[in-house]
């Protein structure tokens, strides 16, 4: 199977989606589309020029252009909105969480809003407090939104396909620090269904449930710990709404030791919810307290030294796994 970089797989997915369905419109800043400020953004230009009527550059009006996308979805299109930095979603929050998320439910199942919101979340380096958010836990508090967190080249393309075909509003959250990761991506047009976790690495000693960039970080730690005789199993939910809890619990039952790694802040974060569910469903299966490695509960500081300290770093992940394995 061929190998692609994450950003290449993502762009390939977008191109195929745009080519396959005229109802898909991509609302983004043309210069940066989908790839933030990464140097690879130049590759987006070719897509923009291939679909000039359907790659749209709106004014810097997140509230309105997200609402425009939702309204367009209600009226027959399938828009993908690139908010670029996840923190910008707060400018559009009322439309995403109070209009899109509620539309199907409060209309009693009459009105579909098949729209995708794309966000780049997390600590990207020097983002400071206003460009480093991981809003997936806040969004998880808004029933009606599907939430996708890819971590590999194959997943980003396959999940994007499913997101674009979803009849429910979907928040597609990935991470700029994933862009360079390489991995195998099938040539054929393979969508990955929502709600199917993937065991990214098998191991008998400790289960690590990780999302997004934390999957890659946990895999790196797992390789190192294997040399010390700790066999780590890394479970990637890939989507948290819907959540494949069975696969997570299957691994928990096997190892009895759990570490949850996620980039949200600690309080009421994605890890908090996963830990609660695991404790409710499998307390009797646990051989050690569940641990979580998350972003410390402070605004994100600018200085690299401080940012590293508050982040769920490889050092903190390794420490938590060692503690769980004891």
Partner 1 sequence: MDPIDQAHQSREWLIESCRRMLLIRHFEETLIGLQNQGHFAGHYHVYIGQEATGVPALSCLAPDDHIFTTHRNHGHLLARGAEPGRMYAEILGRRDGYNKGKGGTFHIAASHLGFHHTSGIVGGIIPLATGAAYAAKARKTGQIAVCLIGDGALEEGAAPESFNIASLWKLPVLYLCENNGKYGAGRALGAAQSFSMAAYPLTDLPKVYKIPAQQVDGTDALAVYRVVSEVVGKIRQGQGPQFIETHTVRWPGSESNWPVVPVVTSVDLAWDASAAPEKFRDWYRASDPVLAFIRKIVEAGAATRAQLAEIDAQAVDLIDRAAKFALASPFPEPQEALTDVFA
- Give the whole-angstrom CA distance, residue 144 versus residue 117: 13
For 224, the enclosing helix (H) or strand (E) is helix 213-227
Q: Which residues contact partner 1 by CB under 8 A?
A: 23, 25, 53-54, 58-59, 61, 63-77, 79, 94-95, 98-99, 103-114, 143-144, 146, 167-168
Q: Give me the least distance between CB of 61 and partner 1, in Å please.
A: 4
Q: Which is the catalytic residue, given 12, 29, 91, 131?
A: 131
Q: How many residues does the chain have?
A: 326
Tell me, yes or no, if 62 is annotated catalytic.
yes
Residue 239 bridge partners (DSSP): 148
Cross-sheet strand order for the sheet of 291-295: 198-201, 232-236, 206-210, 258-265, 291-295
Tell me, yes or no, if 133 is annotated catalytic.
no
Cβ closest to partner 1, residue 109 vs residue 229: 109
In this structure, what DSSP letter does residue 177 have?
G
Determine contact, residues 183/216, Cβ cutoff 8 Å.
Answer: no
Q: Give me the least distance between CB of 55 and partner 1, in Å please.
A: 12
Cβ closest to partner 1, residue 66 vs residue 86: 66
Q: Give me the least distance between CB of 241 and partner 1, in Å please.
A: 9
What is the β-pairing status of strands 232-236 and 206-210? parallel
∠ at Cα 272 (175, 82), nearest 5°?
25
Cβ closest to partner 1, residue 99 vs residue 307: 99
Q: Give me the least distance between CB of 151 and partner 1, in Å please.
A: 23
Of 56, 218, 244, 69, residue with least CA distance to 148: 244
DSSP calls for 94-144: IIIIIIIHHHHHHTTS------EEEEE-S--SS-TTTS---THHHHHTSTT
What would the two tokens of residue 57 be? 């550059």
DSSP calls for 232-281: EEEEE-SEEETT-HHHHHHHHHHHS-EEEEEEEESTT-HHHHHHHHHHHH
Q: Which is the catalytic residue, given 8, 62, 198, 273?
A: 62
Cβ closest to partner 1, residue 68 vs residue 235: 68
Q: Give me the least distance between CB of 178 and partner 1, in Å please.
A: 27
Cβ closest to partner 1, residue 168 vs residue 216: 168
Of 239, 236, 259, residue with least CA distance to 181: 236
Cβ closest to partner 1, residue 108 vs residue 229: 108
Q: Give me the least distance between CB of 102 and partner 1, in Å please.
A: 8
Active-site residues, by number, are 62, 131
């Amino acid at each position: 199977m061929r190998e692609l970089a994450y950003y290449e797989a993502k762009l390939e997915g977008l191109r195929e989606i745009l080519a396959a369905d005229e109802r898909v419109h991509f609302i983004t800043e043309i210069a940066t589309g989908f790839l933030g400020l990464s140097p690879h953004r130049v590759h987006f230009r070719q897509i923009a020029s291939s679909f000039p009527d359907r790659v749209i550059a709106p004014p810097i009006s997140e509230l309105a252009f997200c609402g425009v996308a939702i309204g367009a979805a209600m009226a027959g299109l399938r828009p993908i909105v690139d908010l670029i930095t996840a923190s910008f979603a707060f400018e559009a929050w009322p439309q995403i969480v109070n209009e899109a998320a509620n539309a199907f439910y409060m209309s009693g199942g009459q009105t579909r809003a098949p729209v995708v919101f794309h966000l780049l979340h997390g600590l990207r380096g020097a983002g400071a407090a206003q460009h480093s958010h991981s809003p997936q836990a806040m969004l998880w508090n808004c029933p009606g939104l599907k939430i996708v967190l890819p971590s590999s080249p194959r997943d980003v393309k396959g999940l994007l396909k499913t997101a674009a075909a979803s009849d429910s509003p979907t928040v597609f959250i990935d991470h700029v620090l994933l862009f360079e990761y390489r991995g195998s991506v099938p040539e054929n047009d393979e969508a990955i269904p929502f709600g199917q976790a993937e065991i990214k690495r098998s191991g008998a000693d400790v289960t690590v449930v990780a999302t997004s960039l934390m999957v890659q970080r946990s895999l790196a730690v797992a390789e190192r710990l294997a040399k010390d005789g700790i066999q780590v199993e890394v479970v990637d939910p890939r989507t948290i709404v819907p959540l494949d809890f069975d696969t997570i619990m299957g691994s928990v039952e096997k190892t009895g030791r759990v570490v949850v790694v996620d980039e949200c802040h600690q309080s009421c974060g994605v890890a908090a919810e996963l830990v609660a569910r695991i404790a409710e469903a499998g307390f009797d299966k646990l051989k050690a307290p569940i641990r979580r490695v998350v972003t410390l509960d402070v605004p994100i500081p600018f200085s690299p030294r401080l940012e590293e300290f508050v982040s769920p770093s490889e050092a903190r992940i390794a420490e938590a796994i060692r503690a769980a394995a004891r």
